[in-house]
Amino acid sequence: MTTTTTPPARVPEAVRALVRRVTGDEKHDPSAHSTLDTLWVLYDQVLRVDPHDPDHPDRDRFLLSKGHGPASTYAVLAAKGYFPADWLDDVASWDSRLGHHPDRTLVPGIEIGSGSLGHGLPLAVGMALGLRDRSPARVVVLVGDAELDEGSNAEAIAVAGRFGLGNLTCVVVDNHSDNLGWPGGIASRFALEGWDPAEVRTHDHPRLAAALRRTVADRPTVVVVDTSAKEATA
């Protein structure tokens, strides 16, 4: 018996073309490009944000902890109208607002200055605590798998679980680049501390969107996005 399935949705070629316009930091291309599917699904299908009102007090907050690789984030923000696409053509030039690390004071849609690993998740925990009971906003933070080796993240994972931060989602882009690993996998590490876990493949956009939309009232959620599988073809 054969089963016909619909191929998963893909990032539009126009958005991929925008990513290719970001040059000058090629050593971080693999790290940056691996986040593209997740970022596109978040901004296209999940986050409650408005590029025409990027500072709305009840907007969802997206924090890029992997700030040393912002190319995909810049491209998606440009595609969604946060700033002109021609900003992508001179990243890190003298007059550019776009640096090799994003700056929240210069770039519309950027919530934190980031790049040093291990900072984004602790900041997200504090932000979620501050917004809880005061706003319907969610806080979504994207980290890399190797970033979880940082001790600050271990503490943040534990604290978020203890506080039951239902408005917090951590997205772990798993490039299988971590040094220490975790018995049972990344998702189990969060589950032990009281998080609600999900595991998806990066190119399966319907499942990815469903996982990113899911929240639990009294538990933070984690979505582990595996980038190792090759994209399915029609």
DSSP three-state, residue 51: coil
Please report the pLDDT score of residue 68 as a whole number: 84
Nearest partner of 63 among 42, 89, 34, judged by Cα: 42
For residue range 4-49, list pLDDT tens digits in order: 344 457 899 999 999 999 987 776 677 778 999 999 999 999 999 9
Instruction: Give me the pLDDT at residue 234, please.
Output: 25
Nearest alpha carbon to residue 164 among 124, 121, 219: 219
**Full-model pTM:** 0.92
Residue in this structure with the two tokens 């007059």, named with its chain if needed: 95
Query: What's the token pair of residue 49?
Result: 């944000």
Report the C-alpha gap between 82 and 46 in whole angstroms: 17
CA Rg value for the chain: 17
Please check the confidence at residue 213 and state whether its pLDDT lies above 90: yes
Question: Given the DSSP bridges, would you call strands 139-144 and 221-226 parallel, antiparallel or unpaired?
Answer: unpaired
Classified by CATH at the fold level, domain 28-226 comes out as Rossmann fold (3.40.50)
Question: Could you tell me how far CA 115 lies from the centroid of its own chain?
Answer: 13
Q: What confidence tier does 180 reach under pLDDT thresholds 50, 70, 90? A: low
Query: Which residues of 39-114 form beta strands (DSSP E)?
Result: 61-64
Domain positions in the chain:
28-226
- 184 vs 186: CA distance, rounded Å: 7
